[in-house]
Amino acid sequence: MGAVRPDNPLFRYRDVVDDWPAFETAVASPLPATIWAHPARITREALRSLLAEAGIDARPVAWQPSALRLPAGLRPGAHWGQAAGLYHAQEEASMVPVTLLDPQPGHRVLDLCAAPGNKTAQAALALGNRGTVVANDVAKGRLAAIRHLIKRLGLMNVSVTCRPAQDYSPHAGGFDRVIADVPCSCEGTVRKSSQPSAQALCETRERLVARQTAILDKAVRLCRPGGRIVYSTCTFAPEENEQVVDALLRRYPDELRLLPVSLPGLYLAPGLTGWRGRTFLPELAQAVRLWPHHNNTGGFFIALLERVGGECREGARAAERPTDGHWLEGIVQRYAIPGSALAGLRLVHRGRKYAQLIAADHEPPARPERVFFGLPTVGVQMKPPKLTTAGVMALGAYARRNVVELDESQAQAYTRRQVVTLQPGQGIGLGESGSVVVRRRGYGLGLGVVSPAAEDGSRHLASLYPRSWAAEVP
């Protein structure tokens, strides 16, 4: 990009950026890729070692205990660990809102504008993959990204709804934590995408602000007293940031307060208390901004709010279709999966294809109706029922029979849906033939089918890795 010229939409921030030349340099440089380790599957240290074996020198992110920054130019999907759901790629600045919100086990969490699902995943795993997270998005076409993320990361405490966030049913409350990462003008993503013209931004900003204000107002009403709301955008515009929060603080002076925040190891610039002749409440300085040149990230705005008064309607909870779990019986027996692997979970059945595993203490709202929920674990349309790829990734590490462990080259072939030749004795408790759990270094990749052993003891493994997932493997 080079110098930010006066006709560039970002030039309007010259007077509020502390080091304009450094800002210009940052927005003209590529954005580093960052990932976080799946806390139930691998530690950051173990993930870093795993990547190092492949020649990838990933560096710890100082403020985020599970995050790593990848070398310049490296794609996050370049390592098989992503296919196994050992880590997830998320821009560093985007990790901050949920980290500050600090959802804890026992909290009921709502993500009002969830797609593509990064913050939903953060919250779900912060709850230990139990309890209740509701992920909502207005765009049906974007729900596929959330569904895929649920499968790859094995999320069993998420229900997904599809409604305009500002019109979300009041019967869904109450929530202990609400994420309002609202649609915005996306100026903070300048390092990874082209930007619209200044005129286009001005024409859309007024509509955006009205929508953002309505979404934050809905978040307040759905949050229980004592609960917290994080409001965030990936834009620099004070109209979409401080101005929106200022409006809600004035609307609910006795019910809402802005909390001070900090993250050791990450520089958080204070929010603005005024912009172009408009004065905001002094406490807006407690909101935070991530300017690209301070931490080598994208741009973000975050405000952490606490609901200190008022009332919140407690909505009815959805009823699940009961199932006795018989679809799992043959699977548990075939792969010798211990009962402890299913502790705190229950099997539910909705639709014709799959039975889902979901947290036993999951309490989704009765309204709005859910589009999907839980982890599709068992393909019940098959005879006999079989684990899905997502089911293997979630439960495969526990399997003790009919398991095949692959080496590096075999795993690459498997995820590309190629036939793999197994060496004599390669496998754990294999039967004569049939479906097997496929793993790499003990981590579930998916299902395969082994042939009977040849005279030399070798077998062939046919890959059942999903075609749509194989397309993502480099």
Domain layout of the chain by residue ranges: 401-474
280 Cβ neighbours under 8 A, 6+ residues apart: 242, 243, 246, 271, 272, 273, 274
- pLDDT tens track, the chain, 474 positions: 568 899 899 999 999 999 999 999 999 999 999 999 999 999 999 999 999 999 999 999 999 999 999 998 888 988 989 989 999 999 999 999 999 999 999 999 999 999 999 999 999 999 999 999 999 999 999 999 999 999 999 999 999 999 999 999 998 989 999 999 999 999 999 998 756 555 456 558 889 999 999 999 999 999 999 999 999 999 999 999 999 999 999 999 999 999 999 999 999 999 999 999 999 999 999 999 999 999 999 999 999 999 999 999 898 999 877 677 788 999 999 999 999 999 999 999 887 899 999 999 999 999 999 999 999 999 998 888 999 999 999 999 999 999 999 999 999 999 999 999 999 999 999 999 999 999 999 999 999 999 999 999 999 999 999 998 886 766
Q: Is 113 annotated as a binding residue?
A: yes
pLDDT at 273: 98
Q: Is 67 annotated as a binding residue?
A: no
Assigned token pair, 26: 């940052």
pLDDT at 194: 59
Q: Is 353 annotated as a binding residue?
A: no
Closest to 157 in 3D by CA, of 328, 40, 313:
40
Q: Are 104 and 129 in contact (CB under 8 A)?
A: no
296-319 CB burial, b ≥16 within 10 A, e <16: ebbbbbbbbbebeeeebeebeebe
| The model's pTM | 0.95
Q: Is 192 annotated as a binding residue?
A: no
Taking each continuous run of H as one helix and of E as one strand, the counts in the chain are: 13, 25
Q: Is 176 annotated as a binding residue?
A: no
Residue 259: CA count within 13 A, CB half-sphere: 18
What does the angle CA 294 – CA 296 – CA 297 come to, to the nearest 5 degrees? 100
Measured from the Cβ of residue 25, the count of other Cβ atoms closer than 10 Å reads 15
Which of 162, 186, 223, 234 is flagged as catalytic? 234
Query: Is 184 tagged catalytic?
Result: no
Question: Cis ω on the peptide bond leading into residue 384 (within 30° of 0)?
Answer: yes
Angle, helices 242-251/198-222, rounded to nearest 10 degrees = 30
C-alpha R_g of the chain: 24
CA distance 213 to 236: 16
Strand order in the sheet with 420-422: 403-405, 434-440, 443-450, 459-463, 420-422
313 Cβ neighbours under 8 A, 6+ residues apart: 170, 171, 173, 174
What does the angle CA 411 – CA 416 – CA 419 come to, to the nearest 5 degrees? 75
Q: Which CATH class is domain 401-474?
A: mainly beta
Angle, helices 118-126/143-153, rounded to nearest 10 degrees = 40
Closest to 234 in 3D by CA, of 270, 286, 191:
191
For residue 340, with 0-12 CB atoms within 10 Å meaning exposed, 13-18 middle and 19 or more buried, which class applies? exposed
